[in-house]
Every structure is written in structure tokens, then in C-alpha cells.
């Protein structure tokens, strides 16, 4: 959560309006080494691993980031101990993990919560949180719990159709290798 809080703090500072992207975005497909997911991000994409350990983590956090023109595309996952999420209601956990430090980093008195609701991806529980500032810049966050793995995506978008379309493409591009059994 420390990394996510620092990231959210940095996002608040990047929401200032700036000049629109002059060139079309070149997209890159990111596929997990274990083939459990894929998504699209603007190139170039940088992969990092963090050995941070929080309660319940069974491994390191693996993240991909793409930054440019004042926009940020961030995706990460972390595996939890076997059975970690089965001890809790996954809808509640997705909400708590999806909102995390956002309420502190983005107080409602300053930011408008555009979307703040449970979602699903291929049957798996998740949470969507979209926050806009007074100038219309947007932060979109998605959190999904898939078995014992937590996936998180965060993207910033300026107040332009092109920027918002790129953010939506990134958010909508996540595909999982398995669908939750009904």
C-alpha cells in the first residue's frame, strides 16, 4: 500500500492541464510471464518488481508503467497466501483494496468521484474508482481479485477526448486467462 499511496500522491500533482498529445499513441501488449493476463499500454513500458511485503502477500509485487505527456498508465499484481481472500468477502475486499488511500489522497471536498462502485471482470469481483479534479482531469482505478491474486490498474487522463479514450482503452484491455466458474 505504501507504493500505491505514493503513486496516488504523485497523481494528484500530475492532474494539471497541459497541451494535447501531438502524435498518435503507439500501443504495446503486456502478457504476464505465467500467461494469466494480458493488457495494452502505450509504449514504452517499463517492468519493475518490488519485494515489499504486506500482510498476506506471498510474493513480490510486479508492475508495469508507461508515462508520457503528463499521463500515467500503471498496472500491477501481487499474489497472496493461498486461501487469503477466501477468508473474506471478495466484494468487500475489492472495495477496501480498490479505494485504499484514495480517500485521503483525493478528498471529496476537492475532487469529484465520477465512478465509485463494484464491478466484475470475467466473473471476478473488482472495484472501479474514477476521480476528476476541478479542471476535468481524471484518475481511473480498477482493482480485481482473482483467486489469490490482486490486480490493480491506474491511469490518469487530461480533459480531452483523446486522453480519455487512451485511458479507457487501457482500462478495458485487461483480459484474464480464466473466467470465474459460475
Condensed to tens digits (0 to 9), the pLDDT of residues 19-76 reads 444 567 899 999 999 999 999 999 999 999 988 677 777 889 999 999 988 899 999 9
C-alpha angle 2-123-91 in degrees, rounded to nearest 5: 45
Write out pLDDT tens, residues 106-134: 888 889 999 999 999 999 999 999 999 99
* HSE toward the beta carbon, residue 136, CA cutoff 13 A: 8
In a domain, 153, yes or no: yes
Domain presence at residue 46: yes
Task: Locate all alpha helices (DSSP H) within the chain, ordered by sequence.
Answer: 2-14, 90-99, 102-105, 161-173
Q: Which CATH number is 87's domain given? A: 3.40.1000.10
Q: Tell me, yes or no, whether 138 lies in a domain.
A: yes
Quote the pLDDT of residue 22: 53
Domain count, the chain: 1
Amino acid at each position: 500500500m505504501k507504493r500505491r499511496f505514493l503513486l496516488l500522491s504523485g497523481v494528484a500533482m500530475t492532474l494539471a492541464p497541459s497541451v494535447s498529445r501531438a502524435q498518435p499513441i503507439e500501443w504495446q501488449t503486456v502478457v504476464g510471464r505465467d500467461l494469466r493476463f494480458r493488457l495494452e499500454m502505450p509504449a514504452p513500458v517499463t517492468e519493475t518488481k518490488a519485494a515489499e511485503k504486506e500482510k498476506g502477500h506471498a510474493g513480490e509485487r510486479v508492475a508495469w508503467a508507461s508515462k508520457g505527456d503528463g499521463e500515467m498508465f500503471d498496472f500491477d499484481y501481487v499474489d497472496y497466501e493461498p486461501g487469503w481472500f477466501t477468508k473474506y468477502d471478495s466484494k468487500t475486499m475489492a472495495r477496501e483494496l480498490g479505494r485504499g488511500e484514495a480517500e485521503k489522497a483525493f478528498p471529496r471536498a476537492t475532487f469529484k468521484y465520477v465512478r465509485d462502485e463494484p464491478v466484475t471482470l470475467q466473473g471476478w469481483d473488482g472495484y472501479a474508482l474514477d476521480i476528476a479534479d476541478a479542471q476535468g482531469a481524471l484518475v481511473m482505478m480498477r482493482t480485481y481479485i482473482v483467486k489469490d491474486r490482486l490486480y490493480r490498474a491506474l491511469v490518469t487522463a487530461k480533459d480531452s477526448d483523446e486522453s480519455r479514450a487512451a485511458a479507457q482503452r487501457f482500462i478495458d484491455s485487461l483480459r484474464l486467462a480464466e473466467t470465474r466458474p459460475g
